[in-house]
Structure 1
Amino acid sequence: MTAPATLHLEAVEIALGGRALFAPLSLSVAPGETATVMGPSGSGKSTLLAYLCGTLAPAFSVAGRARLGERALDGLAPERRRVGILFQDDLLFPHLSVGENLAFGLPPGLDREERTRRVGEALADAQLDGFEDRDPATLSGGQRARAACLRTLLAEPQALLLDEPFSKLDAALKDRFRRFVFEHASARRLPTLLVTHDPSDAQAAGGAVVTLQKGSEAQGPAR
C-alpha cells in the first residue's frame, strides 16, 4: 500500500487567452486534511481541479506545478495521477447495476472473488447492503451520492478533489453526505481539496480556506 502523501500546489497559475484566472496559488494539503477553495463563478475553482486531475482543456495555459508527495502531476495522463474527483452530479452509469458501477472503480488485476468482496464491503459501509443488482435509477439522491463516492474511493486514489458535490442536496441530506465524504477521506488519509460557494461546506471541512478573487489576487490560506 502506498504511503499517504501531501498534495502540493506550487505557484500554480492558470490563464486563458493570456489572462490569468487567479494569482499564483501555493497550498499544501496534508494526508487526511481538507482544504477549501472558494470564489465567485468564473474565478477558476473548477478549472483548478481540472488541472489537478489532468482534464484541463488545451486552451488553458499553466504556470507552476503540482505534486503528490515527491511525485509531479504535471504531464501525467489522468489515469496515472491517482487523483479521484466527485462532481455535483453523481455520474453513475445508467446501463450498469449499482454493484457494477462500484466495480468499475476497482483497480485492474483483481480476481472475481476479490472484486465481489470489495464491492460488498463498500455497499455495507454505505448502508446499501444487498443493492448490488439494483438499477441506479431506483436509488434516492442520498443513496446515489454515496454510491458515487464509494466508486471513486474504490479506485484507491492518493488525493481527492470535490467539485461542489453537496450543492444539489437539501440541507439535511447535505449535512449527512458531507460527514460521509469527510470521514471516509480522513480514514483513508487522503489530502482533499474542496471547491464550493457555500461557507457551511468550508466550515464542515475544517481545514484551510483559500478565496480566489476573479481576475485578481488569491487570498489565503486561512483557518
Structure 2
Amino acid sequence: MPSGIKTGLELRDVRIGLDGRELVAVDLVIEPGEIVTLMGPSGSGKSSLLGHICGTLPDQFKVAGQVILDGQSLDGKAPQDRHVGILFQDDLLFPHLSVGGNLAFALSTNVRGKANRRARVEEALRSADLDGFADRDPATLSGGQRARIALMRVLLSEPCALLLDEPFSKLDSDLRGQIRSFVFNLCRKNGLPTLMVTHDPEDGIAAGGRVINLA
C-alpha cells in the first residue's frame, strides 16, 4: 500500500449475513495506534468480520458496506494486497524452518540481499528480547517465546493494520499478562489500528481502549 497519511481502519456500515440472517453490523473507525476490542458469544460474527477485513471470507457470506484502510478501499483486493496482519490463538510457526527462517518468510521481496534480510531478522529478535534465537528450532521454544516470534513475523510483513483473533487464549494466566503487554505496546509503537476479538474481558481491560459487545 502506498505510503501517505495514516488515517486508520474504517468499517463503514459493514454488515455480514449468512443464510438470510445478519451476523454482524459494525460502523467503526479505529485510529492509528488504537486498540478496539470486539466481544460476543460464539456465532455472533466476530471471526467472520476479521475474515472479511483480511479478504478470506467465503463467498457464501453476504457482505455490505466498505472497509477503508488509510483512505483506500480494501474491497475486492486479494488478501496479500491488503496490508492487514492477523495474529491467531495458534502461533502457526513453520516447523520445518528455523526461528530466523520463520521471520525471514514474512519479509518483503524488496528487502534484498542475504545480509540485509538477516539483519532485519536479528533486529526483530532483539526487540522481542530473543537475541541469538535465529538458528533455534521452533519446537524448542516456550509458549511465550513462540507467541513473541509469531507477532514479530506479522510485524515484519509491514502491515498497515493488525487483527488479533483470540491471540492470548491458550496462554496460562501469568504469561497472558506479559504477552498482552508486549503485543499492545508494539501496536501502539508502530501506530497500527488494531481490532481484537476475544472472549476474555480482561483482554479488553488490558488493551485500555473501546470495547464493543456484539449480541
When normalised by structure 1's length, the TM-score is 0.93
In the alignment, the residues of structure 2 paired with residue 159 and residue 64 of structure 1 have an alpha-carbon distance, to the nearest angstrom, of: 18
1:108 CA drift (Å): 1.1
In the alignment, the residues of structure 1 paired with residue 111 and residue 33 of structure 2 have an alpha-carbon distance, to the nearest angstrom, of: 26
Which AA in structure 2 matches 1:134? R
Match of 1:20 in 2: 22
What's the secondary structure of 1:58's corresponding residue? coil
Which AA in structure 1 matches 2:75? D
Contact 1:4 1:190 in 2 (8 A): no
Match of 2:139 in 1: 137
1:187 CA drift (Å): 0.4
> How many aligned positions are there?
212
Which AA in structure 2 matches 1:117? A
1:81 aligns with 2:54: no
In the alignment, the residues of structure 1 paired with residue 33 and residue 177 of structure 2 have an alpha-carbon distance, to the nearest angstrom, of: 19
Which AA in structure 1 matches 2:65? G
Query: What whole-Å deviation, never above 9, does each CA across 1:126-165 have from its counterpart, x for those lacking one?
Result: 1111111111011000000000000000000000000010
In the alignment, the residues of structure 1 paired with residue 92 and residue 158 of structure 2 have an alpha-carbon distance, to the nearest angstrom, of: 18
RMSD (Å) for aligned C-alpha atoms: 0.9
Contact 2:5 2:70 in 1 (8 A): no
Which AA in structure 2 matches 1:173? L
1:199 aligns with 2:175: no
Candidates 179, 182, 190, aligned match of 1:180: 182
Contact 1:14 1:21 in 2 (8 A): yes
Query: What whole-Å deviation, never above 9, does each CA across 1:25-57 have from its counterpart, x for those lacking one?
Result: 101100001001000011011110000011101
Query: What whole-Å deviation, never above 9, does each CA across 1:181-201 have from its counterpart, x for those lacking one?
Result: 010010000000000011100
Contact 2:11 2:28 in 1 (8 A): yes
Match of 1:47 in 2: 48
In the alignment, the residues of structure 1 paired with residue 175 and residue 182 of structure 2 have an alpha-carbon distance, to the nearest angstrom, of: 10
Structure 2 unpaired stretches of 5+: none
When normalised by structure 2's length, the TM-score is 0.96
In the alignment, the residues of structure 2 paired with residue 123 and residue 94 of structure 1 have an alpha-carbon distance, to the nearest angstrom, of: 18
1:5 CA drift (Å): 2.9
Match of 1:219 in 2: none
What's the secondary structure of 2:145's corresponding residue? helix
1:2 CA drift (Å): 4.6
In the alignment, the residues of structure 1 paired with residue 102 and residue 18 of structure 2 have an alpha-carbon distance, to the nearest angstrom, of: 35
* Sequence identity percentage: 59
Structure 1 unpaired stretches of 5+: 214-223
Runs of 4+ aligned residues of structure 1 deviating over 6 Å after TM superposition are none
In the alignment, the residues of structure 2 paired with residue 20 and residue 176 of structure 1 have an alpha-carbon distance, to the nearest angstrom, of: 37
